[in-house]
Amino acid sequence: MKQLIALDINDQIYEVPVDPWDLLSDVIRKKVRLTGTKKGCEQGDCGACTVLINGQAVLSCLTLAIACQGKKITTIEGLAEQDGRLHPIQQSFVDYGAVQCGFCTSGMILSSKALLDSNPKPGREEIKRALSGNLCRCTGYKKIIEAVEVASETMSKEGVK
């Protein structure tokens, strides 16, 4: 049943053998071996497995890998610059203490990126709404919001996408 499909992940084409029932989260983690995408609940309730598909935040635990051919997938590993410099959102998460255990972090950052790409200057309520599908049990969310606000400023100042 397996078929070879091409997945565009972080601007690289990966040819992976998949079964139709393989979930994108499992393919990314186990076959492509990008383990920054996390599985927290596998039922779409926690947001840890969030990736971007064509720029939109989606849950990779409820997405069939086979349905992702021809789409642009972005995982947390695809955010930093080629030389390893952090994306402004990543940098502000580090600088403003928005990271504790780190398990929600990949999803949080990707949801933030989807937000800032479509709405570069979001208000506090807009940030909250955009991140409401990403549970964090450590931080109490306050520093995450601050980090997104700072990233928004940095990105518009530096013209980062």
Partner 1 sequence: MGVWDKEQYVREGVPPFQDERRFTQVGKSVPKIDSPAKVRGEAIYTDDIVLPGMAYGRIKRCTEHAHAKIKKIDYSKALAHPGVLAVLIGDEAPKKWGMLPQTANETVLAVDKVRFNGEGVAAVAAVDEETAEIACDLIDVEYEPLPVLLDPFESMQRAGEIQIHEDAPGNILHEGEQVFGDVDKAFKECKYILEREFKTNMPQQGFLEPQAALANYDPQNGQLRLWSSSQIAHYLHRQISDVLEMPMNKIRVTVPTVGGGFGGKAEACVNEFVACLLSRKIGRPVKVTFDRSEVFYTNKGRHPCHMKMKIGLDADGYIQAVDFDNTLDKGAYAGWGIVVLFYSASMIHLPYKVPNARFRGRCVYTNKPSMGSMRGLGGVQPRFAMECMLDELAEMMGISPFELKMKNAVESGYTAVNNMYVPHTEYKRSLQKAVEKSGYLEKHGKLPFGKGIGLAGGYYITGTAYTLYMSYKPHTSVLLRVDTEGGVTLHCSAVDIGQGSNTVMAQMAAEALGVHFEDVHIQSHDTEVGTFDLGTFASRLTYATGIAIRDAAEKINGKLKEIAAGLLGCRADHLAIKDRKIYSIYEAERKSMEWEKVVEIAVNTTGSLAAMGHFSPPRRRGFDLTSGKRAQGANIGHSPTFGFSCQIFEVDVDLETGKIKVTRVTESGDMGTMINPMAADGQVEGSIVYNLGACLYEDQFFDKDGIHLNPNFQDYKMPTIMDMPEMDINTLTDSYDPTAPFGAKETGEGAVQPTFPAIVNAIYDAIGIRFTEVPITPEKVLKALKEKKKGK
Partner 2 sequence: MFLNHFEYFAPQAAKDALDLCDRLGAKAKILAGGTDLLNLMKDKLLKPEYLIDINNVDEFKGIFYEPGKGAVIGAATKISEIERSEIIREKYFALHQAAGELGSVQVRNMATIGGNICNASPAAETPTPLVALGAKVVISSLSGDREMPLEEFILGNGETALAEGEILTKFLLPEPISGSVSRYGYIGLRDAMEIDAVNLAVNLALGEDGRIIKQLKLVMGSVFPRPLVSEEAPEILIGKEFSAELAEEAARAASSESKPISDIRASAEYRREIVAVLSRRLLQEAFSAAQGEV
* Tokens 């410099």, residue located: 85
Q: Which two tokens stand for residue 94?
A: 């580090």
Stretch that binds partner 1, among 64-72, 85-93, 115-123, 150-158 (CB under 8 A): 85-93
62 binding partner 1? (CB under 8 A): no
How far CA 82 is from CA of 78, 100, 113, 158, in Å, comes to 9, 26, 17, 17
Phi, psi of 43 (to 5 degrees): -130, 10
82 binding partner 1? (CB under 8 A): no
Q: Find the binder of partner 1 among 34, 58, 116, 150 (CB under 8 A).
A: 34
By CB under 8 A, the residues from 115 to 134 that bind partner 1 are: 128-129, 131-134
Gap between the Cα atoms of 99 and 70, Å rounded: 33
16 binds, among partner 2, partner 1, none (CB under 5 to 8 A by kind): none
Shortest distance (Å) from residue 158 CB to partner 2: 25
Task: Provide the greatest CA pair distance for the chain.
Answer: 50
Q: Which two tokens stand for residue 50?
A: 């969030």
Q: Please name the helix (run of DSSP H) or strand (run of DSSP E) that holds residue 93, with its range, or none.
A: helix 88-95
Shortest distance (Å) from residue 82 CB to partner 2: 28
86 binds, among partner 2, partner 1, none (CB under 5 to 8 A by kind): partner 1
What is the contact surface with partner 1 in residues (CB under 8 A)? 29-30, 33-43, 45-46, 48, 75-77, 79-80, 86, 90-91, 93-97, 99-106, 109, 128-129, 131-145
